[in-house]
Amino acid sequence: MPSQETATTIAARGLTRNFGNYTAVDHIDLELKRGEVLGFLGPNGAGKTTTMQMLTGNLAPSGGAISICGIDLLDQPAAAKAKIGYLPETPPLYRELNVNEYLLLAAKLHRVPKAARREAIEVAKQRCGLSEVGKKLIGTLSKGFQQRVGIAQAIVHDPDVVILDEPTIGLDPNQIREIRSLIRELGGKHSVILSTHILPEVEALCDRVQILHHGSLVYGDTIGALKEFHSGRTVLLGLRRPPAREVLAAVPGIAQVETLSTTMFRLQFAAGEDPTDQLARGAVENGWGLYQLAPAQTSLEDVFVHLTQREENN
């Protein structure tokens, strides 16, 4: 059973990784609670995989500290790594082995006691839907089943933390649904970090999200708080006889104007501002023909684009 010693399973402070003069990860903090699924988001090249490799002890950080269930990863790497299960973006599979042989190898590498290996393998297969394919060669399995085998090797030693790097990449819709269901089940017993750039995956599976861009964290909070972050600050404005876009942009409190059609605009308000009254008054006084002024529906994709574009502009 996972250790119950501490509610915090991963704590990283000031985590940094340099490759020569290039900084791939720049002084980020990350914390994971027991039983939590954390979505680690970012566009390609944001530094997600580099961070995963440091958290699992596969890549030494240039600076910062990492503790796994209260164990310092740099001071006691073997003890800390025993608490972690890791599925890299390319699963470390041996195609010439069958599933049972491969999971036995994984159990040995994770130092599962000999007397407990058979049960550990059967439990991992059962949890990952592999009970019927134990004697099949991994190379003959579909991509979806190979991903399941990769997850099974990550949980065969019943770790406190499971780290999954792009676990659904390259799968068809049915396989994606199956893997997501498995990840959801894992979150009930383990702490899970899910690294991805697929936003619906985060909305469906995660309790919290941290967004990484150019090696720096640009946001970290719950999924609900992330949507609330943008909610109420964006409105749809419909005008039958609209003025020039620059006229709308000049209204005090308007941070950004996006033209959706000849009569419809998406307006983003500056923080702490609400110019709706002024917009309505201007529409009446100038004969713009106001027919819609309502909050825009905000998706996680909208917020993600807003945050990463804001970072680019900065």
DSSP conformational letter for 237? E
Q: Would you list the DSSP string of 275-306?
A: THHHHHHHHHHHT--EEEEEEPP--HHHHHHH
- Residue for token pair 């917009």: 279
Q: What is the pTM of this model?
A: 0.75
As a dihedral over the C-alpha atoms of residue 150, residue 153, residue 156, residue 162, rounded to 10 degrees, the angle is: -60
CB 74 within 8 A of CB 29: no
Per-10-residue mean pLDDT of the chain, 314 residues long, equals 64 96 94 91 87 94 96 95 93 95 97 96 94 96 93 95 90 87 86 86 88 88 71 82 94 90 90 88 95 77 69 58
Tell me what pLDDT residue 2 has: 42
CA count, 13 A, side-chain hemisphere, 86: 20
Tokens of 42: 């970012």
At residue 249, the pLDDT reads 93
Q: Quick one: tokens of 123?
A: 């439990």
Domain 8-222: CATH superfamily is: P-loop containing nucleotide triphosphate hydrolases (3.40.50.300)
**Selecting from 3.40.50.1100, 3.30.70.100, 3.50.50.60, 3.40.50.2300, what CATH number does the domain 232-297 have?**
3.30.70.100
CB-based contact 279:257 (threshold 8 Å): no
Distance separating alpha carbons of residues 76 and 79, to the nearest angstrom: 6
Q: The tokens 């010439």 sit on which residue?
A: 96
Q: Break the chain into its structural domains and give their ranges.
A: 8-222, 232-297
